[in-house]
């Protein structure tokens, strides 16, 4: 069934088709429509779930944790300040190995007050142990939401689906909504490996002295490695069943490219347009879209970028005092490539707080990269801010 829906409702539809059993959420712009739609679905009976209207995001995640620990498929959604408030419980869900799924609508962090998009909210949660998947289109949002539940339950780790505020959350696009029966075949009901069970009582999350704690974190790290494989297999199965594949990252017109853009989220769609324009003029410019951020698909990045002379990473985020976060991660991933294979990585900070990233912004990044290419060698350490007022 094709429907024209907004990005937020693509999440809601994904959650409905995944048959989430417990939803706990608190309103925050620009996420709110996700849970409003879910509340409607619960009220109409098209989704049979308990919806807990909690009094904060912190409690939303705590309730999802309790529900997941008791064996349920649990979901929440948030943005920015709400995600930051959840921070403690993000560690709890991941460390407790609970397959909670959450949508984060990327919104810049205050102050000053903002509701517009950038990625600092989700990327600030990098080290909490959540799998993170960044989406470009409403179709990808819906497909990724369903994939997320399967992935989370395959490796007992929580998954965050990330979409841009407004550019995706509030933008209507045609979306192919799969049949419920086909999704059921792809994603059967959750069977928890471990859960709160009065017939077999166990204690979860008890005091872990130095003699046991480290192995718990090692198991978590191993599960992250497993998640790379599982995500690939799940995306492939999705492709076979529904005809759409996304990969952990996507190469777009990257063959024989002398300059590759690296993007994530909706900037990717604009970058595709720019690449098409430049290719039409015979310029060897391509694109790599980042989809999975954690676990970081290091080998995929090395394969995608090795031997390409110039790489321009567009970061809609900033790690203050260091650099754009995708650029930083990619630099680290490529560091030990042989020198003749290692690209020069040019980092660009763009579009913070919802500022437009237009085709000309991207062309500006490309021009700067070409200008710097002759002058500099190796991995550039200093990111350039593009689109700022002088």
User: What are the residues binding another protein (CB under 8 A)?
Assistant: 21-22, 24, 48-50, 52-56, 58-60, 62-72, 74, 88-89, 92, 196-198, 201-209, 212
User: Which string of DSSP letters, residue by residue, matches 271-284?
Assistant: HHHHHHHHHHTT--
Judged by beta carbon, residue 172 or residue 204, the one nearer another protein is 204
Instruction: Work out how close the CB of 330 gets to another protein at its nearest, in angstroms, rounded to a whole number.
Output: 34
Strand order across the beta sheet in which 22-25 lies:
50-53, 22-25, 74-78, 101-106, 159-164, 131-134, 292-294
With contact defined as beta carbons under 8 Å apart, do 204 and 198 qualify? no
Judged by beta carbon, residue 94 or residue 135, the one nearer another protein is 94
Judged by beta carbon, residue 213 or residue 273, the one nearer another protein is 213
Q: Coil, strand or helix: which one is 126?
A: helix
367 Cβ partners below 8 Å, 6+ apart? none
Judged by beta carbon, residue 200 or residue 336, the one nearer another protein is 200
Instruction: Work out how close the CB of 121 gets to another protein at its nearest, in angstroms, rounded to a whole number.
Output: 20
26 Cβ partners below 8 Å, 6+ apart? 53, 54, 55, 56, 57, 59, 60, 78, 82
Token pair belonging to 194:
């471990």
Instruction: Work out how close the CB of 119 gets to another protein at its nearest, in angstroms, rounded to a whole number.
Output: 26
Nearest to 352 by CA among 59, 68, 121: 121
Instruction: Work out how close the CB of 219 gets to another protein at its nearest, in angstroms, rounded to a whole number.
Output: 13
Judged by beta carbon, residue 83 or residue 314, the one nearer another protein is 83
Instruction: Work out how close the CB of 63 gets to another protein at its nearest, in angstroms, rounded to a whole number.
Output: 4
Judged by beta carbon, residue 48 or residue 377, the one nearer another protein is 48
Give the whole-angstrom CA distance, residue 78 versus residue 160. 10
Instruction: Work out how close the CB of 208 gets to another protein at its nearest, in angstroms, rounded to a whole number.
Output: 5
Give the whole-angstrom CA distance, residue 95 versus residue 128. 8
36 Cβ partners below 8 Å, 6+ apart? none
Judged by beta carbon, residue 203 or residue 340, the one nearer another protein is 203
Give the whole-angstrom CA distance, residue 332 versus residue 323. 12
Instruction: Work out how close the CB of 200 gets to another protein at its nearest, in angstroms, rounded to a whole number.
Output: 8
Instruction: Work out how close the CB of 213 gets to another protein at its nearest, in angstroms, rounded to a whole number.
Output: 9
Token pair belonging to 69:
């620990």
Judged by beta carbon, residue 205 or residue 307, the one nearer another protein is 205
Judged by beta carbon, residue 58 or residue 302, the one nearer another protein is 58
Give the whole-angstrom CA distance, residue 283 versus residue 275. 9
Instruction: Work out how close the CB of 120 gets to another protein at its nearest, in angstroms, rounded to a whole number.
Output: 24
With contact defined as beta carbons under 8 Å apart, do 38 and 63 qualify? no
Token pair belonging to 245:
């594949």
> How buried is 250 (Cβ within 10 angstroms: 0-12 exposed, 13-18 middle, 19+ buried)?
buried
């Amino acid at each position: 069934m094709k429907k024209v829906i907004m990005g937020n409702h693509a999440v809601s539809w994904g959650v409905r088709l995944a048959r989430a059993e417990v939803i706990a959420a608190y309103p925050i712009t620009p996420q709110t429509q996700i849970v409003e739609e879910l509340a409607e679905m619960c009220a109409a009976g098209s989704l049979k779930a308990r919806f807990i209207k909690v009094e904060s995001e912190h409690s939303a995640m705590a309730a999802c944790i309790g529900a997941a620990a008791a064996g349920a498929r649990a979901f929440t959604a948030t943005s920015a300040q709400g995600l930051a408030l959840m921070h403690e419980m993000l560690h709890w869900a991941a460390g407790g190995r609970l397959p909670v799924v959450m949508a984060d609508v990327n919104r810049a962090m205050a102050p000053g007050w903002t509701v517009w998009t950038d990625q600092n909210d989700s990327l600030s949660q990098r080290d909490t142990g959540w799998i993170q998947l960044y989406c470009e289109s409403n179709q990808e949002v819906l497909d990724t939401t369903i994939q997320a539940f399967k992935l989370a339950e395959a490796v007992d780790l929580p998954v965050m689906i990330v979409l841009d505020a407004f550019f995706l959350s509030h933008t209507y696009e045609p979306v192919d909504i799969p049949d419920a029966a086909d999704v059921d075949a792809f994603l059967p009901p959750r069977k928890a490996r471990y859960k709160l069970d009065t017939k077999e009582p166990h204690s979860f999350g008890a005091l872990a002295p130095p003699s046991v704690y480290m192995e718990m974190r090692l198991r978590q790290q191993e599960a992250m490695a497993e998640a790379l494989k599982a995500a690939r297999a799940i995306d492939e199965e999705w492709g076979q069943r529904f005809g759409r594949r996304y990969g952990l990252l996507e190469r777009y017109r990257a063959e024989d490219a002398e300059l590759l853009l690296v993007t994530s989220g909706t900037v990717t769609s604009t970058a595709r347009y720019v690449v098409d324009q430049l290719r039409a003029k015979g310029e060897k410019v391509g694109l790599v879209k980042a989809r999975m951020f954690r676990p970081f698909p290091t080998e995929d990045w090395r394969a995608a970028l090795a031997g390409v002379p110039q790489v321009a990473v567009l970061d809609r985020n900033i790690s203050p005092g260091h650099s754009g976060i995708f650029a930083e991660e990619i630099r680290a991933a490529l560091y030990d490539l042989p020198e003749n294979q290692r690209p020069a990585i040019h980092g660009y900070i763009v579009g913070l707080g919802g500022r437009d990233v237009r085709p000309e912004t991207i062309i500006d990044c490309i021009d700067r990269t070409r200008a710097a290419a002759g002058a500099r060698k190796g991995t550039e350490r200093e990111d350039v801010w593009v689109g700022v007022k002088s």
